[in-house]
């Protein structure tokens, strides 16, 4: 259950963007990484609309989802899925909550430290460099954007590598795709993104409905 959850929420910016049209770098990898890290180290909040596409390689099926995401440092997140079924994921700084609104089920992972998410979202947490976590390659670039491939330096069970599309004007991550060890691809595209806007405190709070049964989740060892 928990590994399936991670496959949903790991890639904070995903859905593969059109690849740059030239393989000739318009800017150096080091400059891109420096600018991206500087940009996200100054990012305190994010509020955006997302489109998700999960491609199952074995069954050749794609599931599409839409919703909104909010993020605040340090380590707070809220994902609200609107389609295909209403769900809410809340990381409140201590616990990770999952609420399936259609059937009322609630799941919680207590004392969730977020380390596995931070490994893939290091640039958003701003507590480490991409270069310290990943082997990074510049796949393609032109004057407008660059495509990076990030492979974890230490083996990670729930994904194999990440591709990020970088806007070379803003140095924001516009699209990404996370590929797992079975070749499945989890893609997101973010729209209407607002950075450093003040978010209500209740955004990152969760109270289970009185009639709901809360199921405790544990991580696999």
- Give the pLDDT of the chain (221 residues) as one tens digit per residue: 444 444 444 443 333 344 454 445 558 999 999 999 888 888 889 899 999 999 999 999 999 999 999 988 877 889 999 999 999 999 998 999 999 998 889 999 998 876 655 555 555 555 557 888 889 999 999 999 999 999 989 887 778 998 999 999 999 888 888 898 999 998 888 889 899 999 998 999 999 998 888 999 886 55
Measured distance CA(42)–CA(126) in Å, rounded = 8
Full-prediction pTM beyond 0.95?
no
Domains and CATH numbers, the chain: 2-215 (2.50.20.10)
Coil/strand/helix, residue 115: helix
């Amino acid at each position: 259950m928990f590994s399936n959850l991670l496959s949903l929420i790991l890639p904070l910016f995903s859905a593969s963007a059109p690849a740059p049209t030239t393989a000739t770098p318009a800017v150096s990898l080091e400059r891109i990484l420096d600018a991206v890290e500087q940009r996200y180290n100054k990012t305190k909040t994010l509020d955006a609309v997302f489109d998700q596409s999960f491609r199952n390689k074995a069954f050749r099926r794609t599931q599409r989802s839409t919703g909104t995401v909010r993020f605040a440092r340090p380590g707070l997140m809220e994902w609200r899925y609107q389609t295909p079924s209403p769900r809410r994921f809340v990381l409140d700084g201590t616990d990770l909550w999952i609420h399936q609104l259609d059937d009322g089920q609630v799941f919680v992972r207590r004392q969730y430290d977020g380390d596995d998410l931070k490994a893939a979202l290091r640039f958003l947490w701003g507590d480490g460099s991409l270069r310290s976590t990943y082997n990074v390659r510049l796949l393609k670039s032109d004057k407008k954007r660059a495509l990076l491939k990030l492979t974890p330096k230490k083996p990670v069970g729930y994904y194999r590598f990440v591709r990020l599309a970088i806007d070379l004007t803003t140095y924001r991550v516009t699209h990404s795709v996370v590929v797992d060890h079975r070749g499945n691809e989890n893609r997101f595209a973010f729209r209407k993104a607002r950075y450093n806007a003040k978010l209500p405190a209740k955004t990152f709070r969760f109270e289970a409905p009185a009639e709901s049964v809360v199921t405790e989740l544990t991580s696999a060892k």
